[in-house]
Structure 1
Amino acid sequence: MISFSPSRTFKVLMTCAMIGLAGLSHAEQVFRVTAIPDESPTELARKAAPLMKYLSDKLGMKVEYTPVTDYAASVEAIANKQVDMAWFGGFTFVQAKVRSNGQVIPLVQRAEDEKFKSVFITTDPDIKTLADLKGKTVSFGSASSTSGHLMPRYFLQEVSKLDPDKDFKRVSFSGAHDATIAAVAAGKVDAGALNISVWQKFVEEKKVDTNKVRVIYTTPEYYDYNWTVNSSVSPEVRKKLVDAFLALDKNTPEGKEILELQRASKFIPTKADNYVGIEKAARSAGLLK
């Protein structure tokens, strides 16, 4: 019979407990992700599910999607380290950079985000140009949206010299791109601005009657969306994330599903310098102090 002294038994139990706690800690490690709510919550959750599973496999830890109520909440979440990574528009990235004192890092963007555009839409046959919006009711998306507010407003002022706050009958904010389409189609506003990607998706899926709702203006190109991490995320994890996004291939079933849901042909690396123009436009429009 083998016997243990009380002190030896205690040491063995403590060692087992520590191993158990270490295993528990590893098992509970979660990488948290959020996204600006630029579409309906159900659509965002549908888009996120396969991507979260894919990233979980690549990172070797649980990746959890955490929805937020509005654009500002996504900025606060990453600045306060409540999430590790966020899907931002160019403007929300700039806001997060300012809010966190530079403690955020953009990793990748869709190839389409190098040359992104917005559109103005209407059902009014008398509205043919941006100048015709004078005295009309116009909806943007979220006030913090790059493609649903900032850049459409910027180009509106550049092209037509109209000031929405002075020259429109009423300015409203729908909160999301799909909501802007719905507001215009229902006649709640005379016109609306949204990102071209959501507009094209609605047209392709026949969710909008193009005999009734039409585009009157498409903006010049600008940089937009990206996946951004808090700088506290380790370089090793950042590399794994970049590698995972760049490895997505539309010729594989998994890659095809994720890329189609993300409305991307592929992902490419990005950098903070790409969004200097967005920051200048935001400061010029008085939307960033």
Structure 2
Amino acid sequence: MSKLNLANTLKTLVSSAFLFLGAMTVLPAQAQQAQQVLKITAIPDESPTELARKAGPLVKYLEQRLGMKVEFTPVSDYAAAVETLANKQVDMAWFGGFTFVQAQQRSGGKVVPLVQREEDTKFRSVFITSDPAIKTLADLKGKTLSFGSQSSTSGHLMPRSFLLEAKIDPEKDLKRVAYSGAHDATIAAVAAGKVDVGALNISVWEKFVLDKKVDPAKVHVIFTTPTYYDYNWTVHADMPAALKEKITKAFLDLAPNTAEGKAILDLQRATRFVPTKAENYKGIETAARSAGLLK
């Protein structure tokens, strides 16, 4: 073989090697991009079937808007929701105000709240009973009470905070304190007479009344709390800024004047989503520390 032909052959082999190595570099990146998944979860403040029903249309909408697969992964309890986001096992979580504060503490400040429902800027809790003799918070003394989950903002932390403001110490002044684990379970416990009073999220209560799942003539509200900031969608701080922006815009673009928007907002019990920030939850953090629920 002539020196010229040998040189051309070597040149071709080197070029082919570089092309092969380039393909090896590009293809995995393309495959990784194609397989990219946004994993989301939510605190289990309602039954698993209800959470799945609410998540379905939202997941589909986010997939369309973000151009990536979205997976909803249920968790067993509130603490698990905090841990999965703090440890980056999921990318986004639906938190209550208190679980956001817990996640912020657990992650060393590495979580960011993006949006909340407009209703969450002025959220409230209710105390309900089936006993006609119980008319005010003062009447709770010596009675049995069920909160929701111990980590629930609207089902425990804020109701407890307002009880303490009313000079009622649940552990000292009540006959028994129970934790149902979820708002719908609290309603069921009160309706069945298992406890005298229940404290829960006003949104779930109003939905149960609207759907005729509870008779307000038999189970009624005795106290509605003042307003406070509550639920939000939170992401890990390490999420790329561009993806945070796309997620935020997708939520803010949900509008009740479109069929899809109305369906999703109705399921989320929202009129619309609005931006939020960590500073909104300083009051929740203060209440948690005052109640001895956060160290």
Counterpart CA distance in 1 for 2:36 and 2:241 is 17
| Partner secondary structure for residue 243 of structure 2 | helix
Query: Displacement, 1:19?
Result: 3.6
Amino acid at match of 1:229: V
| Partner secondary structure for residue 107 of structure 1 | strand
Identity of aligned residues (%): 68
Query: Displacement, 1:27?
Result: 1.4
Counterpart CA distance in 2 for 1:266 and 1:77 is 27
Gaps (5+ residues) in structure 1?
Answer: none
Counterpart CA distance in 1 for 2:189 and 2:16 is 71
Counterpart CA distance in 1 for 2:267 and 2:198 is 24
Counterpart CA distance in 2 for 1:27 and 1:153 is 47
Q: 2:84 aligns with which of 71, 77, 80?
A: 77
Q: Which moved more, 1:21-30 or 1:42-51?
A: 21-30
Amino acid at match of 1:235: A
Amino acid at match of 1:150: L
Counterpart CA distance in 1 for 2:13 and 2:244 is 47
Match of 1:135 in 2: 142
Match of 1:58 in 2: 65
Counterpart CA distance in 2 for 1:232 and 1:113 is 25
Match of 1:172 in 2: 178
Amino acid at match of 1:260: D
Query: Displacement, 1:12?
Result: 4.5
Amino acid at match of 1:155: F
Residue 292 (structure 2) pairs with residue 278 (structure 1)? no
Residue 102 (structure 2) pairs with residue 95 (structure 1)? yes
| Partner secondary structure for residue 216 of structure 1 | strand
Residue 128 (structure 2) pairs with residue 121 (structure 1)? yes
Gaps (5+ residues) in structure 2?
Answer: 1-8
**What are the superposed Cα offsets for residues 54-76 of structure 1, whole Å, 9 maximum, x if unpaired?**
11222221111111100000111
Counterpart CA distance in 1 for 2:202 and 2:14 is 70
- How many residues align? The count is 286
| Partner secondary structure for residue 46 of structure 1 | helix
Residue 163 (structure 2) pairs with residue 156 (structure 1)? yes
| Partner secondary structure for residue 244 of structure 2 | helix
Match of 2:257 in 1: 251
| Partner secondary structure for residue 47 of structure 1 | helix
Match of 1:232 in 2: 238
Match of 2:209 in 1: 203
Query: Displacement, 1:22?
Result: 2.3
Match of 1:182 in 2: 188
**What are the superposed Cα offsets for residues 25-71 of structure 1, whole Å, 9 maximum, x if unpaired?**
11111111111100001110110111111112222211111111000
Amino acid at match of 2:64: D
Residue 189 (structure 2) pairs with residue 191 (structure 1)? no
Counterpart CA distance in 2 for 1:234 and 1:13 is 30
Match of 2:53 in 1: 46
| Partner secondary structure for residue 229 of structure 2 | coil
What do you get for the CA RMSD once the two structures are aligned? Answer: 1.5
Counterpart CA distance in 2 for 1:218 and 1:150 is 14
Counterpart CA distance in 1 for 2:182 and 2:45 is 5
Residue 223 (structure 2) pairs with residue 213 (structure 1)? no
Counterpart CA distance in 2 for 1:224 and 1:176 is 16
Counterpart CA distance in 1 for 2:148 and 2:87 is 25
Counterpart CA distance in 1 for 2:196 and 2:218 is 12
**What are the superposed Cα offsets for residues 96-144 of structure 1, whole Å, 9 maximum, x if unpaired?**
1111111111111100011100000001111111111111111000000
Larger Rg: 2
Query: Displacement, 1:23?
Result: 2.3
Query: Displacement, 1:9?
Result: 5.2
Q: 1:67 aligns with which of 70, 74, 93?
A: 74
